[in-house]
Amino acid sequence: MENRRTFIQKSAFAAGILALPNYKWLSALLNAAPGQLEPLRGNTGFYTESGGTIGWYIHEEAIVVVDSQFPEQAKHLIERIREKSQRRIDLLINTHHHGDHTGGNIAFKGIVDKVVAHANSKKNQETVAVARKTEAQQLYPDTTFDQTWSQKIGPETVTATYFGPGHTNGDAVIHFENANVAHMGDLMFNRRFPFIDKTAGASIENWIEALQQIRKHYDKDTLFIFGHAGEKYPVTGTKDDLAAMQNYLSKMFAYVKKAVKEGVAEKDLLAKTKLIPGAEAWTGQGIERSISAAYLELKK
């Protein structure tokens, strides 16, 4: 429980500063105790340590990893995987480009067959790395897609689907079809104020629509893995949690839209807003990220 609490506190801090010019020091700062492979169903599970939640599939015929946190944490994950299997890793898939999801890609260099991401995710990874002068520390995707990508891997089929811009312009949902487990990446912040990366093409308006489409696309038995979660909330859940996230974004966007229409200055709205009416389950630090992103989107 203590490790879980530590992870939540540290990753909450991380999400707010990932856009800073250099996150290299962040990995050391967030050097938590190594996590464990938490099983879900159908040979899938998740791993949490520092950063965005990692998904995994481990079978005697295939190994798939979804997201990689930071280099040190990725090494810990690989150690846990090696306790179960020595086979080469077949796939590393990135849900999007942020450093707490792709910084650990480099740890898979030479031990993974294929790295997959949405085309915009790869472009964003390259842009950020060039700006930070960290190109040598990256392992970029070698396989990209625009709308969907799918591969049969052992007895499982893995499918990635793009529902348009949301948290960024390159977020994909990764579905282990037989297990019926879908990794949402940062399209899901479970009861935690989200980071909305306008510098990477985020769209709150389409994020709301994307969550609606995702709820239609997957069935009632789908188990979802979330990129992040608030304190005391899990990093897995159901369509009900997606509906709650959709409601938060809808209520927040409408709240800011009303303020903009009334001529309320952004700084005044930030100063007076602690919770979003109708979505009070979203608490803690970070509400200013949502308000500022919505204000920017509406003003444009």
Parse the chain into domains and list their residue ranges: 2-247
Q: Please give the average per-residue pLDDT across 125-152, as a whole number.
A: 97
Q: Is the pLDDT of residue 29 over 90?
A: no
* Separation CA 285–CA 31 (nearest Å): 21
Nearest to 251 by CA among 218, 276, 215: 276
Read off the pLDDT band of 300 (50, 70, 90). confident
Question: Is pLDDT at 136 greater than 60 in this prediction?
Answer: yes
- Lowest-confidence region among 29-33, 243-247, 255-259: 29-33
- CATH match for 2-247 among 3.30.365.10, 3.60.15.10, 3.30.2270.10, 3.30.2320.80: 3.60.15.10
pLDDT level of residue 24 (50, 70, 90 thresholds)? very low
Query: What are the structure tokens assigned to 88, written together?
Result: 């080469």
Alpha carbon separation from 264 to 257, 267, 286, 298 (Å, rounded): 10, 8, 20, 13
Mean pLDDT to the nearest integer, 63-85: 97
pLDDT at 25: 31
Structure confidence at residue 33 (pLDDT): 60
How confident is the model over 157-198, as pLDDT tens digits? 999 999 999 999 999 999 999 999 999 999 999 999 999 999
- Quick one: average pLDDT of 35-57? 96
